[in-house]
Amino acid sequence: MIATSAAAKSVRHVQVAIIGAGTAGLNARRGVEYAGKTALLIDPGPFGTTCARVGCMPSKLLIAAADAAHHVSAAPTFGVETEPPRIDGVKVMARVRSERDRFAGFVVKSTEELLAAGKLLKGRARFTGPNTLEVTGDHPAIVHFDAAVVATGSAPFVPPPFRDLGDAMVDNAGVFDWYDLPKKLLVVGAGVIGMELGQALSRLGVGVTLVGVGGGIAGIQDAQVRAEAVRIFSEELDLHLNSPVRRAERLPDGRVRAWFTDRDGAERQEDYDQLLLAAGRRPATTTLDLGAAGVELDARGVPQALDPLTLQLGGAPIFLAGDVNNLHPLLHEASDDGRIAGQNAAHFPDVSVLPRRLPMGIVFTDPNIAFVGLHGAEVDPLRSCTGQVNYGNQGRARVMAVGRGLLRIHADRATRTLIGAEMVGPRMEHVAHLLAWAVQQQMTVEQAVAMPFYHPVIEEGVRTALKNLRRHLRTAAPVGEPCEGFAPGE
């Protein structure tokens, strides 16, 4: 038996301790070393980033399979007659797991190299004071640090109705360990994860019912974009966006029975092979004992006084990076977080605001959903103008039989610079990048309109929206009064 008394523990003194070896933690280490200081990563394993193991990469593998099936099903639209696709769920999931393991393997290999080099300590850390950690595991240790970065990520949130379902419930991580596809599935949560996986599984022949609360869909903030998204996805999915599950129970045969009120107000009681819980994630801080480090916590144990620009917790030598800070739970944001937190930890107490990239998010549904910069409620209607294009009759979209969606672009009325956009439509993952580059470069509407646009391409819709925005700016009332509206479908 391994001794766990203080005398049996090794003692280490490091400049920066980094708890968590995911995307944010690994980039924090690089930030610390870039600043000329030394870092020690601490992680209990298994190694590999959330993105590679259970997030963005395996979900895209499932979506790719769904796209292949959908393209076959859509072929008759073009006069190409085919047999309906036959989905081999075992083969679908075998490829998902195989490629998932390949992506994760690259990260695991590099992380294990850090372990072999003594730059990573395998174990679970908790704070025991303002500058000390206790690490438990096969090699228990006491770690004294000058500054620390917490990059422990997040964990799926399980609301009360679902806590006794056992193996009748699966979260987004568990989906990718399926051997075969279920026949009937209840997806709880209409956020990014729920919409991506729900649509993909539906296109792979699973009978999907998707329920959400509050009427939201995939995090869309703009009311007009949200209305268009609801219209589009309701045509394909059994979608109920304001239908909380009141009760759910595991049946003796392992299936799940759920009770909810559907979108038409009818009471539904239905049985499913399994329930996929996609009700959001919460910062993984419960085992850290941050209070022992003098960090102020709320009633849920969540740290308070986080500076979103420096990522520092109050005046403590502790920084939060990645999903654990609950600011921008996206891989590229976690990467920036790690760099910022790592460099600030290395220079503590000289903490500064470091540059980061423009906020951007993409939901890989079909059609894509995306946002760039300021969007939704962040856009001040008294100081900005909006232009838009409806993709229902956009040339290239019609050619490809994907003519649906809405793109809305915002500009500052005084400077005429682009400030953000929100969209649902075909190939918006590419459009979002173009607009993100334009907004980050602080392009004016006139400069953006003057950029080259080939014909016929989806991106021509951007030019249409920009011209509409330019017209609204030219005819806009003085700052302080709402800009001219724009009727959907114009």
Domain boundaries, given as residue ranges, for the chain: 10-44+123-155+282-347, 160-279, 360-474
Mention every residue, 6+ apart, whose C-beta is less than 8 A from residue 153: 20, 22, 24, 50, 284, 322, 323, 324
What whole-number percentage of the chain has pLDDT above 70?
93
**What is the value of pTM for the model shown?**
0.91
Of 354, 362, 177, 353, nearest to 274 (Cα)?
Answer: 177
Q: In the predicted model, what is the mean pLDDT of residues 108-126?
A: 89
Tokens of 312: 């520092």
CB 391 within 8 A of CB 423: no
The answer to which of 263-277, 315-329, 415-429 has the lowest mean pLDDT is: 315-329
What is the reported pLDDT for 93?
A: 95
What whole-number percentage of the chain has pLDDT above 90?
72
CATH superfamily of 160-279: FAD/NAD(P)-binding domain (3.50.50.60)
State which CATH number among 3.40.50.2000, 3.50.50.60, 3.10.20.30, 3.30.300.30 fits the domain covering 10-44+123-155+282-347.
3.50.50.60
Tokens of 222: 């703009």
What is the reported pLDDT for 328?
A: 80
The sign one gets for the Cα dihedral 452, 454, 457, 461 is positive
The answer to which of 110-124, 128-142, 361-375, 431-445 has the lowest mean pLDDT is: 110-124
Q: In the predicted model, what is the mean pLDDT of residues 242-257?
A: 95
Euclidean distance between CA atoms 114 and 121, whole angstroms? 9
- pLDDT of 486 above 60: no
Which of the two residues, 8 and 432, has the higher pLDDT score? 432
Quickly list DSSP for 131-188: TEEEEESSS-EEEEEEEEEE---EEE---GGGTT-GGGEEEHHHHTT-SS--SEEEEE
CB neighbours of residue 270 within 10 Å: 13
Which of the two residues, 57 and 193, has the higher pLDDT score? 193
Domains 160-279 and 360-474 in one fold:
no
250: β partners = 256
Instruction: Please give the C-alpha separations between residue 142 and each of 8, 99, 128, 235, in angstroms, as whole numbers.
Output: 10, 38, 9, 57
- Side-chain-side CA neighbours of 123 within 13 Å: the count stands at 21
- pLDDT of 1 above 50: no
Query: What CATH number belongs to 360-474?
Result: 3.30.390.30
Pairing of strands 418-425, 368-373: antiparallel
Tokens of 289: 């004992």
What is the reported pLDDT for 49?
A: 60
Of 414, 454, 415, 451, nearest to 435 (Cα)?
Answer: 451
Q: How confident is the model at residue 295 (pLDDT cuts 50, 70, 90)?
A: confident
Q: How confident is the model at residue 6 (pLDDT cuts 50, 70, 90)?
A: very low
352-372: b (≥16 Cβ within 10 Å) or e: eeeeeeebbbbbbbbbbbbbb
Q: What is the pLDDT of residues 370-381, one digit of tens each?
A: 999 999 889 998
Query: Which single residue is written with the structure tokens 């639209």?
Result: 77
Instruction: Please give the C-alpha separations between residue 295 and each of 28, 157, 287, 344, 470, in angstroms, as whole numbers.
Output: 20, 23, 14, 18, 49
What is the rounded average pLDDT for all residues in the chain? 90
Q: In the predicted model, what is the mean pLDDT of residues 277-305?
A: 83
